[in-house]
Amino acid sequence: MAQIHPKTTPIYQTSVFTFEDLNDLELYFEQPDQKYMYSRYGNPNSDELAEEVNKLEEGEGAVATSSGMSAILTAVLTYCQSGDHLLCAEEIYGGSAALLSQELTRMGIAVSYVPSQELYTLDGHVKENTKLLLAETMSNPLLQVVDLQRLSAETKRTGIKLLIDNTFATPVITKPLHLGADMVIHSVTKYLSGHSDVTAGTVVAAKAEDMERSKQIMRVYGLNLSPFESWLAARGLKTLQVRMKQHCFNALAVAEFLSRHPKVKQVWYPGLPQHPQHKLSKAQGCGMFGGMLSFRLEDDLETVNSFMKALQHIPFAPSLAGVSSSISHPLRTSHRSLNPEQQQKLGITLGVIRLSVGIEETVELLADLAQALEKTK
């Protein structure tokens, strides 16, 4: 049979790999990176995805996981165990907060939340057993931008690790490891895959020894990604650069339009000059500001519902970062687990709508938003 040289990596849809004999098996344990035994331990498709994300983030190794949540779990457990304490930025994805406060505390890991204005002065928050700080490059859902160089300097000064969720920015816009982060996580479900057909995550480390620990956690906890999902994500990753350019272009146009509309009370988008971290975001993101924004209508249920129903091409879907635009409602979805006091403190009210801006024709997006706002009560 002629040799086959596929341009695209085949799907290795297998749970286990075979060996010729005991000597062949022994080679696996001597050189586990050269052979495969069991897909929970490693698979060519998940390895390809991890390697490609590692290249983008310019790290020292990466691992693919079954979801963004499992990526966060893997990263935290890389540095923390029972009896340890971790810090988390107060403005964080609601799912991350639920994992930390509801589950990791049951494992004996204490969690404290740091207000945005205190992120760069951690002395009052760091304890003897504090191991790391978790923050997002751009916060979900109100797009507050973290100064990663400043934050890195502060975590190094206080002797803790810096873990950054780079899902909203992607390595196309910001590379946190370059700015001093110790580890980066992604919900690959979002921009990296990009087509709303994959649930996956990745963890990327600045140091090889940290990545070895992350891989061990992935294998033992069974947080691995399936071969087919890995293949889909790696395929989506090939268009990330060009997709992000269009996401950013459209989002800026939409943000400018919404900021001028009389029915819109407020817009959160780092690309707008009035955004409090606009200059930081411009410098840290190489002039790109991402495809996510949030805006606020009247804090009234009928107002929000009438707007959602009037949209003709932008569905209400509680996720983000697909090629097609979608809206979400943080109060009732991503931040539902927070108590009313926490929601109010973060500014997540009934009228706040998160908009994931896709790569459609800009004029079509603006037209749909315009007609929906016209019909909004």
Active site residue 165: yes
Average pLDDT in the chain: 95
Same domain (yes/no): 144, 271: no
141 vs 376: CA distance, rounded Å: 22
pTM: 0.95
Same domain (yes/no): 76, 163: yes
Mean local confidence (pLDDT), 221-242: 98
Decide if 331 contacts 350 (C-beta within 8 A). Answer: yes
Residue 351: DSSP 8-state: T
pLDDT score at 230:
98
247 vs 259: CA distance, rounded Å: 18
Q: How confident is the model at residue 40 (pLDDT cuts 50, 70, 90)?
A: very high
Residue 162 has pLDDT above 70, yes or no: yes
* Model pLDDT for residues 281-338, shown as the tens digit of each residue: 999 999 999 999 999 999 999 999 999 999 999 999 988 999 999 999 988 877 776 7
Residue 1 has pLDDT above 70, yes or no: no
Is residue 12 in a domain? no
Same domain (yes/no): 80, 138: yes
Q: Which of 131, 175, 190, 243 is catalytic?
A: 190
- Total structural domains in the chain? 2
Same domain (yes/no): 127, 114: yes
Decide if 283 contacts 298 (C-beta within 8 A). Answer: no
Same domain (yes/no): 150, 215: yes
Q: Which of 12, 36, 79, 93 is catalytic?
A: 93
Is residue 146 in a domain? yes
Same domain (yes/no): 56, 193: yes
Same domain (yes/no): 193, 245: no
CATH number at residue 191: 3.40.640.10
Same domain (yes/no): 230, 282: no
Active site residue 28: no
Is residue 6 in a domain? no
Residue 375 has pLDDT above 70, yes or no: yes
Q: Which of 165, 175, 210, 215 is catalytic?
A: 165
Same domain (yes/no): 232, 245: no
Is residue 7 in a domain? no
211 vs 199: CA distance, rounded Å: 21
